Amino acid sequence: MNEKRLWGRVVMLGASGLMLAMASVRSAATGTGTPSDVPMSRPGDCLAVLDGIAHHASWAEAPDGSLLMVWGGITFPTLFANSRDGGLTWSKPREAREVSGQVLSGHDTNSLIRLADGAIGFVNRTRNQSKEPDHLLFWRSEDGGNTWQKPVRIGPRVDHEVTCIHDGLTRTSSGRIVLPVYGRMELANDPLARRTEIGAFLHNQWMRIAVHENDSRFSWSYVFYSDDEGRTWQTSRSGNLVVWDPERMTWHRTSQPSVAEVAPGKLLMLLRTDLGRLYQSWSNDNGDTWTLPRPSSLASPLFPAQLRTIPGTGDLLVVWTQTSEEEIRKGLGRGRLSSAISRKHGGQGALWEFYQNIESILEGTRVEPGPIRFTRPEGVFYDQGQAAPQRQPQYVVNLPDNYASMACPSVFFYKDRVLIANAYEGQYRPDGSHVYGRLKVLPISWLYGGVTGLQSNKFGEELRKRFPQK
């Protein structure tokens, strides 16, 4: 096999200096003659790929039948656009304004929902507008997202930051609007502290290969819900959802929860953790109380997932960043954005099948979950004044020539298709330009991968006999 070789320097920026190691850059290939899952599973079925938009996106159907999309935040403006062909093409991006004339701007927590009367609701987080900790606001638009009414505060005033994942709003069969959120608190300020970044030089350009592994903030999850179309909001009564470690007698953080309705009044929540798995919690009372988070069978680094109920089938869809412990240690924690389905009549919420790669620089569509423990890229440390660490040879990464990072997915079903976006960052070029944000439009059938897409598991054969695919 001919390999195109480039040279890159894997650079670990620690608290006291730099560690450099040479790494060869190879083009992705299986070398086995089998179909590749790089850069995605079954790419020929994809309806459209749109680059440079839709990072931290959300969608809603506008009153005129078009799709409304919002995206952006943090260092980017909050932008809106419309599509009249089911997401294949979009209008020129525009800013939106409140009725007061103020530009609608916030963070990266964009979330849209179609309201019962045809209006559109929008959730975003404040952006350091006062000395008060950041909190969430709900706007309402009566004209398809062109202008927005004065926002309503979501939740009571508290002394810590409250935020949510983008694209997080969901409506249950009762009409209740559910918004899963998380609180977050900082450690005391340390004037000597320096944030550790982990990255590499590829094509002579600096690329981040890990982001949150050194985040010292603690977080916990819960739910806000509204029974009057977003005018007022209530808080779930379960307290704070965190992971309890009985062996070490300590708590582990959860954040960026995503919720879907499994049956009327029965909801499933997936939570981001730093323990190598997505964790899950159940509610049997329409989101008011929740069970203690337990580990799912989905391997995951410290990145969020999106959970949805597939229209027409009632099956669950999860889209998430899926990587193994070894891949995390190599700094490839953002190297695979996957999807999986849990069927309504076969272990829903417990058994996942039809694993696919939406974006990937790594082969394989299913990662066997490893030990439940915290893992970060090898070679990262905190203490001031120490010598730069030496990385173990097995964790000096070979960056693929098509290296990119994928995380923070958004998911929207529209008729016969599904729109999946993520904060894709890659395709760095010698002139310094690169792609940030990617939207893919796929037929819903792609998610199932055909009968051959079924992945083996110890229950699989029996389930296929009892619940044949329709």
Q: Domain extents for the chain? A: 6-29+36-466
pLDDT at 16: 26
Run of H or E including 446: helix 444-448
pLDDT at 429: 65
pLDDT at 177: 98
Tens digits of residue pLDDT in 165-193: 999 999 999 999 999 999 998 777 666 66
pLDDT at 12: 31
Instruction: Quote the CA–CA distance of 373 and 310 in Å, as a whole number.
Output: 32
Amino acid at 381: F
Run of H or E including 250: strand 250-252
Q: CA dihedral defined by 38, 40, 42, 48, rounded to 10 degrees?
A: -140
Would you list the DSSP string of 180-235?
EEEEEEPPPP-TT----EEEEEETTEEEEEESSTT---EEEEEEEEESSTTSS-EE
**Residue ranges for the chain with pLDDT beneath 70:** 1-33, 127-130, 189-214, 346, 379-391, 396-398, 428-432, 450-470
Tens digits of residue pLDDT in 391-431: 677 776 667 777 888 999 999 999 999 999 999 988 766 66
pLDDT at 149: 96
pLDDT at 349: 87
Residue linked to tokens 């507008």? 129
Q: Which fold has domain 6-29+36-466?
A: Neuraminidase (2.120.10)
pLDDT at 9: 27
